[in-house]
Structures are given as C-alpha cells and as structure tokens.
Structure 1
Amino acid sequence: MGATGRLGGIARHDRPRGPMELVDEVKVTVREGIAGDFRGALKPDGPRKRQVSLISAEDWAAAMADLGLDAGAIPWQERRANLLVEGLTLPREQGARIRIGGDVVIEVVQECDPCSRMEEIHAGLKAALTPEWRGGVLGRVLEEGTIRAGDTIRIEE
C-alpha cells in the first residue's frame, strides 16, 4: 500500500437501519458530517465521535475471503460505512488525519467495531471484520468541502 489511495465509493443513510444510498459526490461539513447521513449531525451537547465511517476495500475483500465469498458477493455499503478507501491502509490510531480531495480532513477517533447487525447480513461477517481494525475507522470532520468518488486520499499524520 502506498502513501495515497483513492475514494472508491460514497454511501449514506438518512435514518437508523435505513437503506444505504450510493452517491458520486457529497458535501462534508463539521456540523453535519456527510450531507444526508443521519449519523454525522452534531448533537445538542457537542460533537459526535462518529460523523464519518471509512472502510478499506482491501479489508472488505479479506473479510469476504474469510467467509469463502468473492470480494463483490456482498456490496461494501452493506457494512454501513460512508466511505470506501482503495489502495491505502487506514491509520489505526486515534488522532491520525485523513485528507480526501483538496479540502476535506477527517480525524480518526476510534476503530469501527463491527456490530451484531453484521450477522444479519451474513453469518460470520462480524467475526471476519473484527481482526486488525478490518471493520474500518470512525472519524470526525476537521475541514469541510465536497468529495467525489475517485478523489485522492492520503494520511497526513
């Protein structure tokens, strides 16, 4: 994996357990996270830890392989992640910064632990996403802007 990667996909959902919507371009703000995604909005008592979730395409493929499935057997957005990162290992430490395109910066706040909902998608998926931060990372927006599928992604810290 190199120092830069590519934004392979963008997904959002407007309510808990709502369907994931794939989009090619989206506004990302400090106040709302991914525009149109219910998880990103600020709470009345302060910022959310989970404004944006990111998963690596390579980690998703590894989880699928562990289940004996082809990489595309289950679409990545079923993980409920907002952003699919290709060709870049996501940082595994709090405080790391991820730049997407020219403007947007996301700060990693924690690992995205897979929940029991993953078992509803496929038996064994929760366990397949558990090792080595394979379930992705959660972050908060530090710098806002518009992101597009295909944008360059790089780790700043």
Structure 2
Amino acid sequence: MTGRLIGIAWRPARFAPMQTVDAVEISLEAGVAGDHKGAKFKRRAVTILAREDWEAALAQLAAEGDPGALDLDWTMRRANLLVEGVRLPRAIGATLRIGAALLEVTYPTSPCARMEAARKGLLKALHPEWRGGVTCKVLEGGRVSIGDEVAVVSSPPERHIKLPG
C-alpha cells in the first residue's frame, strides 16, 4: 500500500503558526528541520496526518451542524507531514518510508485543547480510529519533498487505544 506526501509543515516554537514548505530535512537529531519538537522529544519527532482521516473528522463536524468546518486547513492539526492514499498503521512499532526517511510509529497523536480552540468539536472528532494521526521517531533521516512516495514498510497487529476525551 503506497500513497504520497502532499503537505509539509513545521513551527519554530510551541504556539507559533505553522510554516509550510515544499521540502525539508528529517534527521535523528532534530526531527523535522526547524520544528521545535524534534530535538526535544525524540519519540515524537515527526507527526503525520492522513488527508482521509482529517477529512473524516471535518465531515463529522459538518454532519453535526458546522458546514464551515469542511474548509479548515490541515495545518490547524499542527502535524508535520500530510499524506494521502495510504492508511496510516494503527500500531505502535509500525514503520513508514516517506521519501528518504524511515519513521517508526510510537503512538497515536493525541489531540489537545488547541484543536478545540481551532474549531469547536474538533478535539472529539479527531479521537476515533487514530484520526489525529501518528507520532514517530526517526530511524533514518533524509530529505522529503511534496510528491514523495509514502509506504508502510511493516506493521504489527493493530491496537485499539482509547485516547483521553
């Protein structure tokens, strides 16, 4: 199962706006170059969001009476990489190849209060089925660019983790 990378973003500080780019270096030392989290939190160095999961969360908000939610940009999720055409593994220890980088899933990305601040109901809409994406540690660094292939290299059996909320 392969997909492609359709978005790259990073932020220089905790509450800073997301910066989008067409290509970025990912390293063991810093995670996504320029992003404030990678060097500090190695097990959460890179966050990945699937377009299909993001759209499912927004569709849920729209169905609950907020049609404007469908226009919410993916960077509101504050993830580093946006992929499409591949189902992100719902299993800790799974590995993904994105361009030159090899990443290991360490946990589902836990939606935080910032999601609720971005849009009422978004926090709850991101909880089911790991819709908020995955956090990863870097196993092999390298340059990634928009359009790069995304492939699940390996995935242990899926685990259903009850996220808070």
TM-score normalised per structure 2: 0.88
Of 133, 140, 145, the residue aligned with 2:142 is 145
Measured after TM superposition, the shift of residue 10 of structure 1 is: 0.2
Give the corresponding residue for 2:44.
Answer: 50
Matches within 5 A, 1:80-95: 80-95=78-93
Measured after TM superposition, the shift of residue 72 of structure 1 is: 5.2
Of 20, 28, 37, the residue aligned with 1:30 is 28
Give the aligned length: 150
Measured after TM superposition, the shift of residue 39 of structure 1 is: 0.5
Q: In structure 2, what is the Cα distance between the partners aligned to 1:95 and 1:58?
A: 22
Q: In structure 2, what is the Cα distance between the partners aligned to 1:71 and 1:122?
A: 7
* SS at structure 1 position matched to 2:37: helix
Report if aligned partners of 1:60, 1:71 keep a CA contact under 8 Å in 2. no
Matches within 5 A, 1:1-157: 3-41=1-39, 43=40, 48-68=42-62, 69=67, 73-101=71-99, 103-157=100-154
Residue segments in structure 2 that go unaligned for 5+ positions in a row: 155-165
Measured after TM superposition, the shift of residue 71 of structure 1 is: 7.3
Identity of aligned residues (%): 47
TM-score normalised per structure 1: 0.92
Q: Which has the higher helix share?
A: 2
Which segments of structure 1 move beyond 2 Å, counting only runs of 4 or more? Answer: 69-72
Report if aligned partners of 1:104, 1:141 keep a CA contact under 8 Å in 2. yes
Alpha-carbon RMSD across the aligned residues, in angstroms, is: 1.2
Give the letter aligned to residue 95 of structure 1.
Answer: G
Measured after TM superposition, the shift of residue 51 of structure 1 is: 0.2
Give the letter aligned to residue 90 of structure 2.
Answer: R
